[in-house]
Structure 1
């Protein structure tokens, strides 16, 4: 696809805009902003990646991964507005997930420790974990509010904050992981994932593309579990005050 022909792809955005106007959805501004931001961001990261791949320096790789973790943490933390320190806890969860997952991939010889592998796969792992953390916060807020009476009753009977919120914690962790495993159940039947499709379009063998996609999906299962469990362990106290009173 040439740079000129790429402009024709914006016809798809025009369809979305026309449908929004027709149905009076009021999404024209969001569609326009999202289109401009995604285009600019992707073009910018394309040039950055080209420079990093050519330099092949570990420092640039680390800077990009830190940037990914920071942006993902900020985005997921927006789901927990009002919880003091939630950004740093999410950052810790994402960093540990990235370190453990990518460390195993490299140590087991599943991927080569080069920018072409480390950066794209890190982006997918961190992005998947970000979604898990965001879902966890959503469910924790909802479950805590709906179970407020039960939690406060347990606290009044002498339970610790962990004991009082344990049931809510388990339900939130489980709910945050379900989408990842639901995707794994239908992949290849309902959808052909982006990495696999991209490799095939680029001319790679479908069998090679499938192998890498299997690796990614299995990695997602591990990263989802690590990030969900870790964020639950280091963040549940944020729903309580220093006096172990459930926050409103």
Structure 2
């Protein structure tokens, strides 16, 4: 088994944050503050989560684990909705899509016995599932917003020809869902060839036999492909309703504050 890194080693790895900030500043990407804030938040959140999870695993059991996953869903919906800001009810759309995708995927894994109903399995896999759903919902919302901004004349022309709001917007919802799923599809295609994903890498570092780690990784990749697809399709499906008002008029988008 590989020795766990010390806190000193973790501190040394802040050099990568410094590198990212330096490059972003040199190229005037206007991301310096966001990079620093993201790095600081990650360290603080992970430290806090590590402490809390010990109590969840030993005291709260499966109900507490499911409640933890539920909290992840709510937070993920807020994050994805923020990235899709400017769209009507973006946070609600994202939260519903993430909740449905995560519940369906995690529930199926538990129902067919792929994972055991124990906190040590529910929380980590639930986190992966919610994270994948969040990424798909985020990309879907951003693509829907782009479609509304760039294809408004074409959408309104279809409405003038007598098409319903759903029919007028359908080509753009399909395009948004396809684009949102490209990262998940590409990652699934090249898994093991270009990189060893996190779950497999962690198991190998923990001393698990590679073929055993492969079985876990296949499960992870398949569940992420499923939950991403559910979240992307549902996000774009719901967006076609909130993008229009009761009179089937395309709502204007609000300029996001960067």
TM (norm. structure 2) is 0.89
SS in 2 for 1:47: helix
Offset at 1:11?
3.2
Aligned position for 2:255: none
Aligned position for 2:48: 44
The verdict on how the C-alpha distance between 1:59 and 1:143 changes in structure 2, with shifts beyond 3 A counting, is same
- 2:169 pairs with one of 165, 168, 185: 165
- 2:12 pairs with one of 8, 14, 35: 8
Aligned position for 2:145: 141
- 1:60 pairs with one of 64, 73, 85: 64
- 1:190 pairs with one of 185, 190, 194: 194
- 1:33 pairs with one of 30, 34, 37: 37
Q: Matches of residues 92-131 of structure 1 in structure 2 within 5 Å? A: 92-131=96-135
Offset at 1:145?
2.4
The answer (yes or no) to whether the contact 2:173–2:240 under 8 Å persists in 1 is yes
Mapped partners of 1:8, 1:169: distance in 2:
45
Aligned length: 248
Offset at 1:89?
2.4
- 1:229 pairs with one of 223, 228, 233: 233
SS in 2 for 1:57: helix
The verdict on how the C-alpha distance between 1:204 and 1:175 changes in structure 2, with shifts beyond 3 A counting, is same
TM (norm. structure 1) is 0.92
Mapped partners of 2:29, 2:167: distance in 1:
45
Please identify, of 62-71 and 211-220, the stretch whose mean Cα deviation from structure 2 is larger.
Answer: 62-71
- Backbone CA RMSD of aligned residues: 1.9
Q: Matches of residues 203-218 of structure 1 in structure 2 within 5 Å? A: 203-218=207-222
SS in 2 for 1:84: coil
Mapped partners of 2:207, 2:23: distance in 1:
35
Mapped partners of 1:227, 1:170: distance in 2:
13
Offset at 1:225?
1.5
Task: Give structure 2 stretches of 5+ with no counterpart.
Answer: 253-258
Offset at 1:206?
1.2
SS in 2 for 1:81: coil
Aligned position for 2:157: 153
Mapped partners of 2:38, 2:100: distance in 1:
30
Offset at 1:230?
1.5
* CA deviation vs aligned residue, 1:148-182 (integer Å, no higher than 9, x gap): 22211111121110011111111111111111101
Offset at 1:240?
1.2
Please identify, of 42-51 and 146-155, the stretch whose mean Cα deviation from structure 2 is larger.
Answer: 146-155
The verdict on how the C-alpha distance between 1:84 and 1:15 changes in structure 2, with shifts beyond 3 A counting, is closer
Please identify, of 3-12 and 205-214, the stretch whose mean Cα deviation from structure 2 is larger.
Answer: 3-12
Mapped partners of 2:220, 2:164: distance in 1:
39
- 1:220 pairs with one of 211, 219, 224: 224
